[in-house]
Structure 1
Amino acid sequence: MLRNYVFSIIKCLVIVLFISGCKEKKLTLGKGISFEKEENVRYGNNPEQVLDLYIPHQETSEKKDVFLIIHGGGWRGGNKTELTFFTLSMMQKFPDHIFANINYRLATATSAGIPNQTDDIGTAIKYLEQKLKYNPRFILLGNSAGAHLSMLYAYHFNAQKKIKAVVNIVGPSDLSDPGFEKYQDYSFVKNYLIDPKAVPTKMSKTLFASPVSWIESASAPTLSYYGNRDQIIPLSQKRILDSVLIRNKVIHETYEFDGGHLDWDKAPNDLFLIDKIATFLRQLDKK
Structure 2
Amino acid sequence: MKHFFNIFCLILLCGKIAYAQEKPQFPSYTIELTYKKLKKDYPFITPITPLVSDKIKYKENIVYKKTNTSKLKLDVYAPKEKGKKTYPAVLLIHGGGWLVGSKENERVMAQHLALNGYIGVSVAYRLGFEAPYPAGVNDLKDAIVWLRKHARKYNINPDKIAVLGASAGAQLAGLLAVTPNSSLYEPDSKISDAVQAYVNIDGVVSFIHPEAAAESKSGKVSMADIWLNGSKEENWKNWKEASPLEYVNEHTPPTLFINSAQPRFHAGRDDMLTILNNHGIYNETHTIPETPHSFWLMHPWFETTLSYTVNFLNKVLKDEK
TM tier relative to shorter chain: 0.7 to 0.9
Runs (4+) of structure 1 moved beyond 6 Å? none
Secondary structure (helix, strand or coil) at the match of 2:308 reads helix
The partner residue of 1:156 within 170, 179, 196 is 179
1:189 Cα deviation from its structure 2 partner: 5.5
Q: Conserved in 2, the CA contact under 8 Å of 1:226 and 1:238?
A: no
SS at match of 1:148: helix
Q: Give the residue type in structure 2 aligned to 1:111.
A: A
Structure 1 equivalent of residue 185 of structure 2: none
Q: Is the 8 A contact 2:144 2:193 kept in 1?
A: no
Task: Report what 1:5 is aligned to.
Answer: none
Query: CA shift at 1:241, angstroms?
Result: 2.7
Residues 116-154 of structure 1, C-alpha deviations (whole Å, 9 max, x = no match):
111111211222222233734211011011110001111
In the other structure, the counterpart of 2:142 is: 123
Aligned partner of 2:258 in structure 1 is 225
In structure 2, what residue type is equivalent to 1:277? T
| 1:97 pairs with 2:118 | yes
Checking the alignment, whether the CA contact within 8 Å between 2:56 and 2:111 is kept in structure 1 is no
C-alpha distance 54-208 of structure 1, shift in aligned 2 (>3 A):
same
Structure 2 match to 1:38: 59
Tell me by how many angstroms 1:191 deviates. Answer: 4.2
Q: In structure 2, what residue type is equivalent to 1:86?
A: M
Cα distance change of structure 1 residues 268 and 191 upon mapping to structure 2, 3 Å threshold:
closer
Q: Distance in 2 between matches of 1:229 and 1:139?
A: 25
Q: Do the aligned partners of 1:212 and 1:244 also contact (CA within 8 Å) in 2?
A: no
Say which SS state the counterpart of residue 295 (structure 2) adopts: coil
Q: Does 1:88 align with 2:111?
A: yes
Point out where structure 2 has 5 or more consecutive residues left out of the alignment.
1-44, 183-191, 231-235
Deviation of 1:182 (Å) = 1.4
Query: 1:175–1:207: 8 Å Cα contact kept in structure 2?
Result: yes
Question: Which residue does 2:40 correspond to in 1?
Answer: none
- Hey, what's the Cα distance between the residues in 2 that align with 1:124 and 1:116? 12
Equivalent position to 2:209, from 172, 177, 199: 177
The Cα RMSD (Å) is 2.9
Preserved CA contact (<8 Å) 2:207 2:240? yes
1:65 has 2:88 as partner:
yes
Q: Which one has a bigger Cα radius of gyration?
A: 2
CA 188–245 in structure 1, closer or farther in 2 if over 3 Å, else same: same
Residues 1:255 and 2:278 are matched in the alignment: no
Partner-residue secondary structure (3-state), 1:272: helix
Equivalent position SS for 1:43: strand
Q: Is 1:227–1:257's contact at 8 Å kept on the other side of the alignment?
A: yes
The Cα shift of 1:285 comes to: 4.6
Q: Deviations over 1:38-83 (max 9, x none)?
A: 2111101132511111233312222221111100000111101112
> In 1, distance between residues paired with 2:243 and 2:176?
11
Which residue number corresponds to residue 20 of structure 1?
none
After superposition, the C-alpha distances for 1:80-127 in whole angstroms (9 at most, x for unaligned) are 1112223223333x2x3212111100112x831x22111111211222
**Cα distance in 2 for residues equivalent to 1:189 and 1:106:** 11
C-alpha change, 1:161 and 1:82, in structure 2 (3 Å) is closer
The alpha carbon displacement at 1:181 in A equals 2.1
Q: What amino acid is the match of 1:182?
A: A
Secondary structure in 2 matching 1:260: coil
Report the Cα distance in structure 2 between the residues aligned to 1:214 and 1:167, rounded to whole angstroms. 16
Equivalent positions of 1:178-217 (< 5 A) are 178-183=210-215, 187-188=221-222, 191-194=225-228, 204-217=237-250
The residue identity in structure 2 corresponding to 1:215 is V
Count of residue correspondences: 252
Distance 2:84 2:112 in 1: 25
Please say if residues 48 and 103 of structure 1, whose CA atoms lie closer than 8 Å, have aligned partners that are also in contact: no
| Residue in 2 that maps onto 1:238 | 269
CA distance in 2, matches of 1:217, 1:60: 37
How far apart, CA to CA, are the structure 1 residues paired with 2:171 and 2:281?
Answer: 17
Percent identity reads 22
- Secondary structure, counterpart of 1:140 in structure 2: strand
CA shift at 1:251, angstroms?
A: 1.6
Q: How far apart are the structure 2 equivalents of 1:192 and 1:156? A: 23
Which residue identity is paired with 1:34?
Answer: I
Q: TM-score, normalised by structure 2?
A: 0.69
